[in-house]
Amino acid sequence: MPRAPRRRPSSSSDDSFDRFVAAFKRTETRRGGEWTVQPISQGQALKPYTCPGCGRLIPAGTAHLVAWRADGVLGDAADLAARRHWHSHCWRVG
Cα–chain center distance at 9: 26
| Tally of domains within the chain | 1
| Alpha helices by DSSP H, the chain | 13-22, 76-81, 88-93
pLDDT at 80: 83
Beta strands 33-40 and 64-69 are antiparallel
Q: Is residue 22 part of a domain?
A: no
- pLDDT tens digits along 6-45: 665 555 555 555 555 446 889 998 878 899 999 999 999 9
Domain housing 40: 27-93
CA distances from 61 to 6, 31, 40, 42 (A): 31, 28, 10, 5
* 65 is a domain residue: yes
- Which residue would you say has higher pLDDT here, 76 or 93? 93
Does residue 8 sit within a domain? no
User: How confident is the model at residue 53, as a pLDDT?
Assistant: 95
- 76 CB neighbour count, 10 Å cutoff: 12
**pLDDT, tens digit (0-9, with 9 covering 90-100), for 37-74:** 999 999 999 999 999 999 999 999 999 999 999 887 77
d(CA 38, CA 87): 12
The answer as to whether 71 is a domain residue is yes
Question: In this structure, are residues 37 and 28 in contact, taking their beta carbons and an 8 Å threshold?
Answer: yes
**42: in domain:** yes
